[in-house]
Structure 1
Amino acid sequence: MTVANWEAVYDFYGPGRRRDGFTYPLLALVDALYRPRLRIADATVARLHRLHSDGVGIVVAVNHPSAHDPTVLAAALFDRRIRFLASGTGLTKDPLFRGPLRPVFEYTGTVPVFPAKNYEGTASDIHEAAATRLIELCVGRLVDGGVVLTFVEGTNSSADDLRTLRLESVKKGVGMMVAGAREAGAPVAVLPLGLAYHGREHAKLPPRRAVAAAGPIVVWDSGPPPTVDEVRAAVRDGIDEALTAAWS
């Protein structure tokens, strides 16, 4: 797997290779190991279910403070109140699809991302084509009323972003997803989620004081499509509010 053959990679992973018989036992195990506390208001839970029932695509937009985040996020979304979000399409860097861990990502329906920093020297048009195809894939999920899970920083948070998120740290990908769905005429919602670790976030062992907190849902369902920067700002504000709750 490499960015040079991105077309074959997305042809293979794009339709989704999730196997529920594999995924749900794995999520139960991850939840038992990490047990993050999920702070989410009842009104937010009810609104998420209404949006999903109405066929509105949902982006779960998350900060990325630790290497533990993918498993902590999976455990948080396995919470029975919002478990339908756990069926969403996750995005993660392509090296994780190599070696013995590949089934963990492949059979949970995760799609690979090719970070440009991992392919220095590769022609820019190849990076751009691969990124465009990935965004199109995510937009398609949202237009169909699905769920996309994304770490908006694209890499682990810097020390300056652990308790509040800088606007420049929110990459344009989340904005392109939302704008693309609206340009296609579909309503789309974003659930900002803030992850915080009250100790042991950099240890190899699973952290026992992980907290995931939900910020206010942002919905775009009418009017002209938002700009990428408008979405980035809304996501940053929502994650900031979620982080305040997560650290309190």
Structure 2
Amino acid sequence: MEIALANADEVYAFYGTHRQPVLRARAAYAYLAARYRPVIGYDDDARDRITALRRREVRFVVCANHLSDKDQFVLAATAFRTPLRRLIGHIRVLAKDELFDDAKQRAQIDVMGGIPVFRPKDHQMRAAVAAGRQMIDVCVDRATRYGDSIAVFPEGTCNVTDPSTLLPIASGIGHIAHGIAGNVEVALLPIGIAYPDDTRVGARVVLGVPELIDADDTPAAITRQVRTRLQDSVSRARALMADM
């Protein structure tokens, strides 16, 4: 199956039921943890709160800032080195469709839990927006039926302007979180990433305190919350970088 906007129906039908090979996913995450070696920090009681919510089988919507094409690897490495490790094999990561073009790379992304996103900036606007609605439905259904958590880089593109300040946040994350909250408990978990150099090894990563999302909140309100909380985690990650 080709990952192409023209056959978005088939693409999302496949990823709506796709199962990760859990053992291979854990091995891949372990390898990335050893390779990228992120330095982890937590806000307040974030570590204990993540553990408590995970044990309650609360789903997470993980949001992280986007600085590099290596961010998804650093995020995976972070998951392995934190209480999120128990969720490996049940974390779906939104990734731009072009990353699925190469067959070998697509196989690796599938192991890691990737779900393709057809960005309007890369495609015909109306068709991409329609596909985006399908993608949101898949994320909501996976969280509800399969217990998956969803990881998103809500800026939608790499921030090459000012890494200390988030780019505008796309509304898709608000719609995903709102849809999940209407069915099961879900918590927003912000993760800020800062790089001390160009190697991407030893990134400073700060996990914010996860907060349950109110099912009555609108997607717009959730999107605003994402921006506020993720910006705080980014600032803390940069402070961690400066302190070391």
TM-score (norm 2): 0.88
Residue 199 (structure 1) aligned to one of 197, 200, 203? 197
Q: Deviations over 1:144-190 (max 9, x none)?
A: 44310110111111413x11325xx11101100111123x3432210
- Indicate conservation of the 8 Å contact 1:152/1:174, yes or no: yes
Aligned partners of 1:191 and 1:218 also within 8 Å: yes
1:219 to 212, 216, 230: 212
User: Which residue does 2:10 correspond to in 1?
Assistant: 8
TM-aligned CA distance change 1:102 to 1:185, over 3 Å? closer
Taking only the aligned residue pairs, the percentage that are identical comes to 31
Deviation at 1:41, TM superposition (A): 4.7
1:230 matched to 2:231? The reply is no
In the alignment, structure 1 residue 244 sits paired with structure 2 residue 242: no
Secondary structure of the equivalent of 1:213? strand
Q: 1:51 and 1:81 mapped to 2: Cα distance?
A: 10
- Residue 110 of structure 1: how far off its partner (Å): 1.2
Tell me how far apart the structure 2 counterparts of residues 185 and 214 of structure 1 sit (CA, whole Å). 25
Structure 1 equivalent of residue 132 of structure 2 = 131
Work out whether residues 62 and 192 of structure 1, in 8 Å CA contact, stay in contact via their aligned partners in 2. yes
Query: Does 2:70 align with 1:72?
Result: no
What residue in structure 2 maps to residue 155 of structure 1? 157
Work out which of the residue numbers 89, 94, 97 in structure 1 matches 2:97: 94
1:70 alignment partner, SS class: helix
Quick one: distance in 2 between partners of 1:80 and 1:127?
35
Unaligned residue ranges in structure 1 (runs of 5+):
201-205
Residue type of the alignment partner of 1:173:
G
| Structure 2 unaligned blocks of 5 or more | 240-244
Per the normalisation by structure 1, the TM-score is: 0.87
User: 2:120 aligned with 1:116, yes or no?
Assistant: yes
State the distance in 2 between where 1:8 and 1:141 align. Answer: 16
Cα distance change on mapping 1:158 and 1:112 into 2, 3 Å = same
The answer to whether residue 176 in structure 2 is matched with residue 174 in structure 1 is no
CA contact (8 A) 1:178 1:231 kept: yes
Aligned pair partner of 2:22 in 20, 23, 30: 20
Alpha-carbon RMSD across the aligned residues, in angstroms, is: 1.9
C-alpha spacing 1:185/1:13, structure 2 compared with 1 (3 Å) = closer
- 1:216, 1:238 within 8 Å by CA — same for their partners in 2? no
Aligned residues: 234
Structure 1 CA distance for aligned equivalents of residues 160 and 169 of structure 2: 12
**Native 8 Å contact 1:36 1:208 kept in 2:** yes
Q: Deviations over 1:34-80 (max 9, x none)?
A: 10111125721222222222232210111101111011111111114
CA drift at 1:86: 3.4
SS in 1 for 2:157: coil
Judged with a 3 Å threshold, the aligned counterparts in structure 2 of structure 1 residues 123 and 175 are, in CA distance, closer, same or farther, namely: closer
Q: Cα–Cα, structure 1 residues 28 and 155, in superposed 2: closer, same or farther, change >3 Å?
A: same
SS in 2 for 1:82: helix
Task: Provide the rounded CA distance (Å) in 1 between the counterparts of 2:82 and 2:129.
Answer: 38
Q: For 2:125 and 2:225, how far apart are their aligned partners in 1?
A: 32
> Is the contact between residue 40 and residue 214 of structure 1 (CA under 8 Å) also seen in structure 2?
yes
Q: Report how far residue 136 of structure 1 moved.
A: 0.8
